[in-house]
Amino acid sequence: MELMIVIAILGVLITLAVPSFKKAQISARWRKCQSNMKTLEGALDNVASEHDEGESDIPANIKKACWDDSAGKVDITQTEMEYLLKFGYIKHILKCPISSQVKYQFDTDKGEMYCPFHKAYRSAKNPYTNNDNS
Ligand SMILES: [Zn+2]
């Protein structure tokens, strides 16, 4: 009998806790996404400062992101990621933690990465943060 009551109470507690766990998880994924974008911005900065504009083995989209101010939103695809990885600008392939299908974009107007899944720039505030924590 007591065991049943304990199990019932645990069940209620878990039911109450799950939504806040989910919220925390979603919030953590956005922070991870932002940190990926920050790393990518840094990587593009380094490419831009280490190479001349004429360097031919740099993928076209990286050239656009680094040197073409009029390009707009430039996709950072698998090809670009592999280039950045190969030459040590990033340590591993960086994708939105929510969907690996998402291609990060570099906005040459803003000079900032954009996540099409989160529909947000790297510097955007965390929309999932509650008032009750950090
Ligand atoms: Zn994202």
Q: What spacing in Å lies between the alpha carbon of 17 and ligand 1's midpoint?
A: 25
Mean pLDDT of 69-79: 93
Q: How far is it, in rounded angstroms, from Cα 108 to Cα 67? A: 9
Has residue 134 got a pLDDT over 70?
Answer: no
For the chain, what are the domain ranges? 29-121
pTM for this model (two decimals): 0.82
DSSP code string of 30-97: HHHHHHHHHHHHHHHHHHHHHS-TT-TTS-HHHHHHHH-TT--EEEE-HHHHHHHHHTTSSSS----S
Higher pLDDT, 132 or 111: 111
Give the Å distance between the CA of 6 and the centre of ligand 1. 40
Least confident range from 9-13, 34-38, 99-103: namely 99-103
Question: Mean pLDDT throughout 8-12?
Answer: 89
Beta strand pairing status for 112-115 and 73-76? Answer: unpaired
Distance 3 CA to ligand 1 centre (A): 44
CA of 105 to the centre of ligand 1 (A): 11
pLDDT of residue 100: 81
Ligand 1 mean position to 115 CA, how many Å? 5
Say if residue 131's pLDDT is above 50.
Answer: no
Interval 72-93 mean pLDDT: 95
Buried/exposed code over 61-82 (b: 16+ C-beta within 10 A; e: otherwise)? bbbbbbbeeebebbebeeebbe
Distance in Å, CA 122 to ligand 1 centroid: 9
Q: What is the CA radius of gyration of the chain?
A: 21
CA–CA distances in Å: residue 108 to residues 19, 128, 129: 38, 27, 28
Q: Which residues line ion ligand 1, judged by CB < 5 Å?
A: 33, 96, 115, 117-118
Predicted confidence at residue 129, as pLDDT, reads: 67
